[in-house]
Amino acid sequence: MSIKELRHVTEMICLAFVAGFVLGGAVLKAADKAVVAAEADETVAVAASPAENTAPLNTAPQAEVVVPPGRPEWVERIPVRKFQGTDETTVCSDPFSTREACLPALDEKIAVAVMDYITEVTGSKLAPNLLAYDLPSIKEHLVPRQNYYEETIVSPSVGPMHQIHARVQFDENFRREISDRWLQIRSAARLGQVGLAFIAILSVLATVAGFFRVDNASRGYYTGRLQWVAAGAILGLIVLGAFVARLIPWI
């Protein structure tokens, strides 16, 4: 390769990468804003749902509340985290005026408890969303029927209030399932990362090789134009790579 050709390649790649970083950064920033806006809309929608608008009637002073006898011992138990045998977490729906209002609140607490446990087991905050356990499956395997307790507490200032407790138990099989699925997701993500890098390198090399081939065929007559075309192609590859990279979990 001659000095002139080397200079052309250097100028072309530098121009493409500078423009790519600027444009790619702007695109990613806009995408992040869109994600934040979508999450904000979802939060507002959830806050406006009927289940959430049924405010828990737990405004009475705790000292006035009368708890009926017969509450199981596990209701007051602190979370167990030994990561061997069976771990458990107890959740409560909080007091509501009706039993029906307790159910969606309890489901939300159960889902949050499972997501927190998955985060503890895997050490990643991305794991709960990537593993994507659905609520019916969670309740079927982790909260058997005997692990629910319903009660009606009474406050002189508010009156009867319903609340439901649930005992969520995580056994060795569930932890093994989490670890196995998380290992598969991480392996697939690493494979995607390596594949993306390999394709990016090949694409840039193919673009540079195409530039020299056409430039030699035209005997340098269109060198300036070809530099801009090649730089635009590399820029397009950078932007496309940025979008594809967002689809791959970087874990």
HEC secondary structure over the chain: CCHHHHHHHHHHHHHHHHHHHHHHHHHHHHHHHHHHHHHHHHHHHHHCCHHHHCCCCCCCCHHHCECCCCCCHHHHCCCECCCCCCEEEEEECCCECCHHHHHHHHHHHHHHHHHHHHHHHHCCCCHHHHHCCCHHHHHHHHCCHHHEEEEEEEECCCEEEEEEEEEEEECHHHHHHHHHHHHHHHHHHHHHHHHHHHHHHHHHHHHHHHHHHHHHHCCCCCHHHHHHHHHHHHHHHHHHHHHHHHCCCCC
Quick one: 200 and 153 in the same domain?
no
pLDDT band at 208 (very low <50, low <70, confident <90, very high): confident
Using N-to-C axis directions, what is the helix angle for 99-122 and 172-217, rounded to 10°? 60
Quick one: 95 and 136 in the same domain?
yes
Residue 44 lies inside a defined structural domain of this protein: no
Quick one: 72 and 165 in the same domain?
yes
Percent of all residues in the chain with a pLDDT value above 70, rounded to a whole number: 75
Q: Considering only CA atoms, give the Rg of the chain.
A: 29
Q: In what order do the strands lie in the sheet with 148-155?
A: 87-92, 159-170, 148-155
Listed residues 110, 138, 170: the one ending a domain: 170
Quick one: 143 and 233 in the same domain?
no
Residue 148 lies inside a defined structural domain of this protein: yes
The more confidently predicted of residues 236 and 17 is: 236
Q: What is the pLDDT of residue 33?
A: 52
pTM of the model: 0.65
Quick one: 95 and 61 in the same domain?
yes
Cα separation, 153 vs 145, whole angstroms: 21
Checking if the pLDDT of 125 tops 60, the result is yes
Q: What is the pLDDT of residue 29?
A: 53
Listed residues 144, 170, 196: the one ending a domain: 170
Checking if the pLDDT of 188 tops 80, the result is yes
pLDDT in tens, 49-65: 444 444 444 444 455 77
Q: What is the pLDDT of residue 13?
A: 54
Owning domain of residue 146: 55-170
pLDDT in tens, 149-183: 999 999 778 889 999 999 999 999 999 999 999 99
Among the residue ranges 46-60, 143-157, 234-248, the one predicted with the least confidence is 46-60
Residue 175 lies inside a defined structural domain of this protein: no
Number of domains observed in the structure of the chain: 2
Residue 196 lies inside a defined structural domain of this protein: yes
Cα separation, 160 vs 64, whole angstroms: 12
Quick one: 95 and 165 in the same domain?
yes
Quick one: 163 and 62 in the same domain?
yes
Q: What is the pLDDT of residue 46?
A: 35
Q: What is the pLDDT of residue 64?
A: 73
Residue 193 lies inside a defined structural domain of this protein: yes
Checking if the pLDDT of 187 tops 70, the result is yes
User: How high does pLDDT run on average in the chain?
Assistant: 79
Residue 209 lies inside a defined structural domain of this protein: yes
Quick one: 34 and 62 in the same domain?
no
Residue 178 lies inside a defined structural domain of this protein: no
Among the residue ranges 72-76, 136-140, 166-170, 205-209, the one predicted with the least confidence is 205-209
CA 226, 230, 231: angle at the middle one, nearest 5? 115
Quick one: 131 and 100 in the same domain?
yes
Q: What is the pLDDT of residue 63?
A: 54
Residue 77 has phi, psi (to 5 degrees) of -75, 140
Quick one: 133 and 66 in the same domain?
yes
Q: What is the pLDDT of residue 242?
A: 86
Quick one: 154 and 65 in the same domain?
yes
Quick one: 148 and 190 in the same domain?
no
